Amino acid sequence: MGDTYEGGCACGQVRYVTTGPPARTGVCHCRYCQLRTGSAFGVSVYFASPDVTVTGETRPYAFTTESGRAFTTHFCPTCGTSVFWRVAVFPDLIGVAGGTFDPPTFWFVPVTEVFTRSRAPFVHLDVPQSHATSPAHAPVCDDPVARRGG
């Protein structure tokens, strides 16, 4: 048991409820997250899959990372908000987009910052753990140029 939080996409068609504390929190500067959000970094709030209930239709976009693992992001087909994702490296977790919670929006504390190799030079964050890539990073192929980490 624990606190519940709600959130959803910009247009309101996709909604979710989370229960209990997150399993992991962090900020990701990888190119995938920059492209997924159209912004400088992704804010990741991971929960055990049963702790997230999603309502409304999402559309998946799946691709394989340079570490050879599946990354599937789910976005609202109407407004395009990237709402949640699943990554093969955390098979039991679901990553909720940290900017999509209803107020109190940023109730969680990001603990880890990953893929600082492609961090935008104007971004300065107060996050205790920092990694140039990530502890699980194990490249097996080259990304297309647009997705390549700096």
Minimal distance in Å, beta carbon 77 to Zn ion?
8
Residue 33 or 93 with smaller CB distance to Zn ion: 33
Minimal distance in Å, beta carbon 137 to Zn ion?
11
Q: Using alpha carbons only, give the angle 46, 49, 52 rounded to the nearest 5 degrees.
A: 80
Residue 13 or 67 with smaller CB distance to Zn ion: 13
Query: What number of chain residues touch Zn ion (CB under 5 A)?
Result: 11
Q: 21-46 as b/e, with b when 16 or more CB fall inside 10 Å?
A: ebbebbbbbbbbbbebbeeebbbbbb
Q: Is 33 in the site for Zn ion (CB under 5 A)?
A: yes
Strand, coil or helix: 135: coil
Minimal distance in Å, beta carbon 3 to Zn ion?
25
Nearest to 129 by CA among 24, 26, 22: 26
Q: Which residues bind Zn ion (CB under 5 A)?
A: 9, 11, 13, 28, 30, 32-33, 42, 76, 78-79
